[in-house]
């Protein structure tokens, strides 16, 4: 159970260049399901193991990248409470009416100092496919593709990372599970709203609003291997992996969608409790922290963003 009014990641909206190719990638390869297509052409996807209406939104655009990430809060009154806290911190807050995305209630949103739009919402309709809730089997629809179980987290690149950390801790009650400190300052942070190793992460970068990856949770390390087989079979561009992180301890492989947006499939990771200390890494071991087996950084992993 989450320990704050922010429950968990809700959905992410990404820009894609070729909608049919993107739909094929996210449904047939990663293993999501298309829920609906909006009148404006946006496409709404989810994993079969998620209850809420959708967790991924694809928008056709001329450039790939990140539009927004939304978190679900416990109840509608939390939106008013967090609006005041965000505004008091100094970020102007705007309102998105219920139904702007199908199945989603009213939302509040703002732009971080890193250049990324974050939103909160409380109400979401359920949609099919979804898990059974009475005498439930392990799955209702047989898993396919990489067998993604949920949208898990995102990593974003931008400036003012110290302010971003301060904001998430003070305004939204997130906890910093891990961080990378270099001699010239803070490089990266991993933040959680609940008991996962992370729900969102940030890396210091001079350009604002950049997108590194969206991650999808798999059940086991064997599923990460299955995902690698699929990537080879369908000639999907791979960044690195299968490997493991020292930071978060997750087992992972990174790859790209047809538009160049980086994806991750991720399993494992530790359980975080609110009384745990923040795990810290320095410049002597940061390569091992990012890629535990290789013990070295990957240049493309650091530099390629959308």
Question: Is 3 a known active-site residue?
Answer: no
Which one from 153, 157, 205, 212 is the annotated catalytic residue?
153
Question: Is 254 a known active-site residue?
Answer: yes
Backbone angles phi, psi at 42, to 5 degrees: -65, 145
Question: Is 83 a known active-site residue?
Answer: no
Question: Is 25 a known active-site residue?
Answer: no
* Three-class secondary structure of residue 230 per DSSP: helix
What the block records as the tokens of 2 is: 């989450």
Which one from 53, 198, 205, 212 is the annotated catalytic residue?
198
* Three-class secondary structure of residue 235 per DSSP: coil
Question: Is 24 a known active-site residue?
Answer: no
Which one from 119, 213, 217, 272 is the annotated catalytic residue?
213
Q: Are 71 and 8 in contact (CB under 8 A)?
A: yes
- Strands of the sheet containing 175-182, edge to edge, are 238-244, 250-256, 262-268, 210-217, 150-158, 200-204, 185-192, 175-182, 279-281
Question: Is 160 a known active-site residue?
Answer: no
Query: Can you tell me which residue has the tokens 């798999």?
Result: 218
What DSSP element (H or E) covers 22? helix 19-24
Which residues are part of the catalytic machinery?
Answer: 153, 198, 213, 245, 254, 264
């Amino acid at each position: 159970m989450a320990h704050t009014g922010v429950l968990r990641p809700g959905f992410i909206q990404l820009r894609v260049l070729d909608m049919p190719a993107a739909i094929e990638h996210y449904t047939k390869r990663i293993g999501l399901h298309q829920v609906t297509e909006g009148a404006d052409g946006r496409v709404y996807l989810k994993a079969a193991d998620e209850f809420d209406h959708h967790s991924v939104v694809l928008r056709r655009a001329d450039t790939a990248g990140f539009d927004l990430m939304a978190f679900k809060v416990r109840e509608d009154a939390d939106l008013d409470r967090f609006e005041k806290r965000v505004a008091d911190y100094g970020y102007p807050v705007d309102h998105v009416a219920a139904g702007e995305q199908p199945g989603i209630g009213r939302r509040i949103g703002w732009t971080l100092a890193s250049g990324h739009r974050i939103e909160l919402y409380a109400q979401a309709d359920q949609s099919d496919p979804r898990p059974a809730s009475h005498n439930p089997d392990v799955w209702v629809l047989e898993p396919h593709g990489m067998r993604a179980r949920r949208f898990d987290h995102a990593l974003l690149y931008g400036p003012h990372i110290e302010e971003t950390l301060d904001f998430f801790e003070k305004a939204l009650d997130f906890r910093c599970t891990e961080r990378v400190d270099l001699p010239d300052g803070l490089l990266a942070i991993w933040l959680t709203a609940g008991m996962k190793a992370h729900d969102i992460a940030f890396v210091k970068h001079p350009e604002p609003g950049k997108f590194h990856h969206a991650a999808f949770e798999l059940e086991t390390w064997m599923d990460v291997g299955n995902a690698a087989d699929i990537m080879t079979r369908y000639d999907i561009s791979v960044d690195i992996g299968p490997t493991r992180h020292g930071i978060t301890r997750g087992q992972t492989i990174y790859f790209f969608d047809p538009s160049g947006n980086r994806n991750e499939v991720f399993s494992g990771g530790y359980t975080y409790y609110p009384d745990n200390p923040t795990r810290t890494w320095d410049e002597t071991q940061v390569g091992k922290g990012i890629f535990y087996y290789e013990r070295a950084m990957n240049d493309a992993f650091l530099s390629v963003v959308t």
